[in-house]
Structure 1
Amino acid sequence: MRRIKDSSFRLWFFCIVLITASSVALIKTPPAYAYGRIVVLYAAASPILKELGVGNKVVGITRTDKTFDDAVKLGSHLKPNLELINALRPDLIVAGSVRAFPREMAERVKADVFYYDPGSLEDILVKITDLGRLLGKKQEASVLVKRLREKLSLVTALSKTPSVIYEISSNSLRVAGSRSIITSIIEAAGGVNAVKVQKKHVLLSPEKVLELNPDFYIYQVGPMNRNPEPPLKRPFFRSLHSKVVEVPELKFARPGINAFEAVIDLNKIFRGEDNE
């Protein structure tokens, strides 16, 4: 009877060890060599991968991505060509938000998916660290994070905190809300977003803009705001007293390495050192 109990115990212990080992294996981060073919479906992440030294592994990108010349164009980040993606046989896909590349879409490709959707400058640094760990590039990621933090140290303190409204699109006037990366850039530069709505993009009436009366009205020019009429030439903004500044969308609105340079530029604008 003693022998049976000992045998049962050994069998139970062996099963526990086996289950535990299997669980650890499931959550273990794959080694760097496991990812030899990468598809990037969010252009903001591409410069990071280039900085980490894995650009030679990128086989597919979106049509607006200018980072890798030899990669295949796969459509937009919202409507990627899944057949073409599968034809490239990637083992890792770097996507934007879950909304842009939902789980059901991810299940149609035979690759791991890393979601890159930072909402702040600090989130960008966290994502860089995560990518470095995932791709076996921890040291490169650490160097990049340090460099970007040092860039923020170049911001000059302001005597006054300027309020800002940031125009995303002049059509059906859309502006940056408090959940936009723009808000993080504004705050790091020493300002404050006058729009407090907990959304990335907010529909705002011209009357509300005049009511908020921000110190700066910044409007971007790029894919989301092509050839906008300068705000002060718009009939409903004739009484706007804000300083109006034009900025490039791809530097300010993409949540990537560029956002840290945007902070420095915006800080200069706040100090009156812009070229206008």
Structure 2
Amino acid sequence: MLNLFLLQIPASALAAIFVTDDQGRQISLDAPATRIIALYGAFNEILADLGREDLLIARTATDDLPASIKAKPSIGTHLRPNAELILGLAPDLVIQLGGRGEAMEPVRFLEKRGLNVAVFDLENFEQLFSVMERLGTLTASTDQAAKRIAFMRSELARIEAANTAPRPRIFFEARYPTLLAAGQGSMASEILYRAGGENCVAAPDKLVRLGEEELLRLDPDIYLVQEGPMNPRPVPMAERHLFRTLACVKSGQVHTVDQKVFSRPGPRSLEAVRQLATIISNWKKEVRP
């Protein structure tokens, strides 16, 4: 009976699996992962997009997508997961987001105890596609990953082909009243460009602290206010007295967007491009009647 069962499993699913993560380390699995814990919510959404949300066995405290994740046990936060809980759940793959030194502390702890931990960067669409491809490999979902990547590339190309000059200068507010803006190194900045605009903040960082005087100097055409965990209750523009002179405020080009759509890299980043492309299209109708 065992031999018959083995014959029904594709040979590729029985072979050892290797990928290189974004720390340059080789992640080796004896078989496709079946028990996964992601320490950053975007990876849950990517796996769900590949049709593999059934492989997720836990979540971090703030994860709510896909909906099925809410029934999973919580293992703490992205930067401070409960390592003992993770060990007790016996995952065959843990996934962490790169880019912050604190994120590597739980990685080292779990690796020393024999767990496979992959660290991936997610700062732009090309990195997103690379992560999708490697997670497809690790979960025996390469065909689905290839299809989803091809579809997203096609949609981005279609939206970009429809982009015509001029490109509006856009300011993306990550937080206020301590004003933080999306810099050039963020996924939000790439979404601005792919949708047909440009980030008026030139700094290369993901997040940039700015004074209100600098914002007044930039005087963007469109102002995006993200609403979410980082900016939970955005202050209405009418209550920001220095902002009244901004051209975008006078023209009504201030728009509130969902932080988890615009700032969390993942499958919904394409939806962010679509939403912003519509905003930009309407702006062009006003400036070029």
- TM > 0.5 between the two? yes
Residues 98 and 115, structure 1, Cα contact 8 Å, conserved in 2 = no
- Whichever residue aligns with residue 259 of structure 1, its letter is S
| Aligned positions of 1:107-186 closer than 5 A | 107-109=108-110, 110-155=114-159, 156-186=162-192
Q: 1:52, CA displacement in angstroms? A: 2.1
Report the Cα distance in structure 2 between the residues aligned to 1:233 and 1:28, rounded to whole angstroms: 51
- Whichever residue aligns with residue 265 of structure 2, its letter is P
Please give the secondary structure, in 2, of the residue aligned with 1:238. Answer: helix
Pick aligned residue for 2:44 from 46, 50, 54? 46
Q: 1:185, CA displacement in angstroms? A: 0.3
- Whichever residue aligns with residue 125 of structure 2, its letter is L
Report the Cα distance in structure 1 between the residues aligned to 2:176 and 2:82, rounded to whole angstroms: 30
| Aligned positions of 1:95-114 closer than 5 A | 95-99=96-100, 102-109=103-110, 110-114=114-118
Gaps of 5+ in 1: 1-25
Please give the secondary structure, in 1, of the residue aligned with 2:63. Answer: coil
Q: 1:38, CA displacement in angstroms? A: 0.6
**Higher deviation after alignment, 67-76 or 202-211:** 67-76
Q: 1:232, CA displacement in angstroms? A: 4.0
Report the Cα distance in structure 2 between the residues aligned to 1:262 and 1:102, rounded to whole angstroms: 26
**Percent identical across equivalent pairs?**
32
Name the structure 2 match of 1:21: none
Residues 27 and 117, structure 2, Cα contact 8 Å, conserved in 1 = no
Q: 1:100, CA displacement in angstroms? A: 6.0
Report the Cα distance in structure 1 between the residues aligned to 2:239 and 2:37, rounded to whole angstroms: 43
Structure 2-normalised TM-score?
A: 0.80
Closer, same or farther: CA 146–89 of 1 in aligned 2, 3 Å: same
Report the Cα distance in structure 1 between the residues aligned to 2:209 and 2:108, rounded to whole angstroms: 34
Name the structure 2 match of 1:210: 216
Closer, same or farther: CA 135–100 of 1 in aligned 2, 3 Å: farther
- Whichever residue aligns with residue 76 of structure 2, its letter is G
Structure 1-normalised TM-score?
A: 0.84
Residues 184 and 201, structure 2, Cα contact 8 Å, conserved in 1 = yes
Report the Cα distance in structure 1 between the residues aligned to 2:122 and 2:215, rounded to whole angstroms: 27
Give the paired residue count. Answer: 248
Report the Cα distance in structure 2 between the residues aligned to 1:231 and 1:117, rounded to whole angstroms: 34
Poorly superposed stretches of 4+, deviation over 3 Å: 26-29, 100-104
* 1:58-112 superposed Cα distances (whole Å, 9 cap, x missing partner): 1111122112233211121122111111111112111112526544422322311
Name the structure 2 match of 1:7: none
